[in-house]
């Protein structure tokens, strides 16, 4: 009993269980989405399976590192983390370093055909940086002043502007949502989150009107309103995604038995549209199970935040919860037609190294705060 109690104090068991199940489901879905595709081309059908398992192993090692260092000591390293994330975002905009994929220059090419996406790690740097500033000013139980909020916004603004320049609309929306949530939870005056929401709405409208968005981004927005607007590209992808999810019915076609998935009717299915594999092969029940697991992750993040002994840890947990929640909604909403297509991965499930690393580091931060509450 003593060992179980120590384990429960050190780790949040519901969070660990939900995360582990999501990672396992993700491995199976990635394999299902790529197995027949690679086999038909005469390649190793387990290529993406092996890469995804490797991504998870590396991500778990990074999460262990995030757990081992007392999160309160992160305040001393926050400027370094923030500076490195900004340097990475600048590097992707330089043609000699950055790679352009699907219209966005968001990746840095590494030896061995590997790529890294600095915007994923910028999420962590922004959350920790803003939490540090807003928490430091509240040690005397005073709410953040307007100057404190402005300083925290400056921490987020520079990386955000660099991400907009890529351009990466999906990541911009997710980070913006986390920024507003952290400020609202910090105790700042309500005019700040309300004003930021209003400013975001005006900025989005102005960006569309004055032509700031690229043509492919405008087509994605048009396809959200009218799937027939771009029938050969984004409209086709959205239409096929809905067909694939709907074809699974209540119980699904069975793992590895989805005709739409095996026929590769949905582009980018192992990354941005991984939820369509779950819809077709696991059905409505499988999708509900995945949503329940996500709900457990968000619930435990909130519980850990409420139990935290200091404002810094609480705000970090709130920021991670907002990040996960908005990204899950954005990805699944995109697949089922409730949100525009933005090209963001589904946490824990989608194939991709940078996303997996950043997501598991964030889980490590949650466990860190939990173990030192």
233-242, 296-305, 355-364: lowest mean pLDDT where?
233-242
* 236 has a pLDDT exceeding 80: no
Give the pLDDT of residue 43: 81
Candidate from 1-5, 55-59, 172-176, 320-324 with smallest mean pLDDT: 1-5
Give the model's pLDDT for residue 12.
87
pLDDT in the model for residue 136: 78
Reported confidence tier of residue 28, pLDDT bands at 50, 70, 90 = very high
Confidence (pLDDT) at 299:
97
User: Smallest Cα–Cα separation from 313: which of 80, 135, 119, 62?
Assistant: 135
173 pLDDT higher than 60: yes
Task: Compute how many other C-beta atoms are within 10 angstroms of the C-beta atom of residue 22.
Answer: 20
3-class DSSP string for 29-66: HHHHHHHHHHHHCCCCCCHHHHHHHHHHHHHHHHHHHH
Instruction: Single out the residue of 123, 152, 128 nearest to residue 78, CA to CA.
Output: 128
Boundaries of every domain in the chain: 2-371
How far CA 175 is from CA of 76, 109, 178, 180, in Å, comes to 23, 24, 5, 9
Q: What is the pLDDT of residue 70?
A: 84
- Over the stretch 198-208, which tens digit does the pLDDT of each residue have? 877 776 666 55
Count other C-beta atoms under 10 Å from residue 75's C-beta: 16
- Predicted confidence band of residue 3 (pLDDT cuts 50, 70, 90): low
Q: Hunting for tokens 């086709």 — which residue is that?
A: 236
Question: In a 10 Å sphere around its CB, with 0-12 CB exposed, 13-18 middle and 19+ buried, how is residue 140 labelled?
Answer: exposed
- Report the pLDDT value the prediction gives residue 126, as an integer from 0 to 100: 95
pLDDT at 47 over 80: yes
Confidence band for 4, pLDDT divided at 50, 70 and 90: low
Q: What percent of the chain has pLDDT over 70?
A: 84
311-350 tens-digit pLDDT: 899 999 999 999 999 999 999 998 888 777 777 899 999 9
Q: Which of the given ranges, 37-41, 143-147, 234-238, 277-281, has the highest pLDDT on average?
A: 277-281
What mean pLDDT comes out for the span 109-137? 86
Q: What value does the mean pLDDT of the chain take? A: 85
pLDDT for 121: 94
Contact 245, 336 (CB under 8 A): yes
C-alpha–C-alpha distance, residues 111 and 99, integer Å: 13
Please give the average per-residue pLDDT across 83-104, as a whole number: 80
The yes-or-no verdict on residue 6 having pLDDT over 70 is no
Instruction: Report the pLDDT value the prediction gives residue 293, as an integer from 0 to 100.
Output: 98
Contacting residues for 4 by C-beta, under 8 A, at least 6 apart:
none
Q: Which of 26-40, 135-149, 194-208 has the highest mean pLDDT?
A: 26-40
């Amino acid at each position: 009993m003593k060992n179980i109690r120590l384990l429960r104090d050190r780790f949040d068991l519901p969070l660990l269980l939900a995360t582990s199940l999501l990672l396992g489901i993700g491995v199976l879905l990635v394999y299902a989405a790529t197995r027949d595709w690679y086999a038909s081309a005469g390649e190793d059908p387990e290529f993406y399976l092996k890469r995804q398992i490797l991504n998870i192993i590396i991500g778990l090692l990074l999460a262990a590192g995030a757990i081992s260092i007392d999160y309160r000591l992160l305040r001393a390293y926050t400027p370094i983390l923030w500076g490195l994330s900004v340097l990475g975002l600048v590097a992707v905009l330089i043609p000699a370093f950055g790679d352009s994929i699907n219209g966005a220059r968001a990746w840095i090419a590494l030896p061995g055909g590997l790529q890294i996406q600095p915007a994923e790690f910028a999420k962590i740097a922004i959350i920790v940086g803003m939490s540090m500033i807003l928490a430091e000013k509240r040690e005397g139980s005073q709410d953040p002043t307007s100057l404190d909020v402005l300083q925290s916004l400056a921490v987020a603004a520079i990386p955000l502007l660099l991400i907009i320049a890529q351009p990466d609309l999906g990541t911009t929306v997710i980070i913006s949502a986390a920024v507003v949530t952290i400020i609202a939870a910090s105790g700042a005056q309500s005019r700040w989150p309300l004003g930021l929401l209003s400013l975001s709405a005006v900025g989005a409208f102005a960006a569309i009107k004055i032509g700031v968005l690229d043509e492919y981004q405008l087509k994605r927005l048009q396809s959200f309103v009218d799937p027939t607007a771009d029938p050969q590209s984004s409209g086709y992808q959205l239409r096929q995604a809905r067909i694939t999810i709907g074809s699974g019915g209540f119980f699904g076609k069975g793992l590895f038995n989805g005709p739409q998935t095996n026929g590769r009717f949905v582009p980018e299915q192992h990354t941005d549209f991984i939820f369509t594999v779950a819809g077709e092969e696991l059905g409505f029940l499988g999708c509900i199970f995945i949503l329940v697991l996500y709900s457990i992750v968000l619930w435990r993040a909130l519980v850990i935040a409420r139990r935290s002994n200091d404002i810094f840890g609480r705000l970090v947990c709130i920021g991670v919860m907002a990040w996960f929640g908005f990204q899950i909604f954005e990805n699944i909403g995109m697949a089922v037609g409730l949100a525009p297509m933005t090209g963001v991965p589904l946490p824990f499930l989608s194939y991709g190294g940078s996303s997996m690393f950043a997501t598991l580091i964030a889980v490590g931060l949650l466990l860190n705060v939990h173990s030192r509450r």
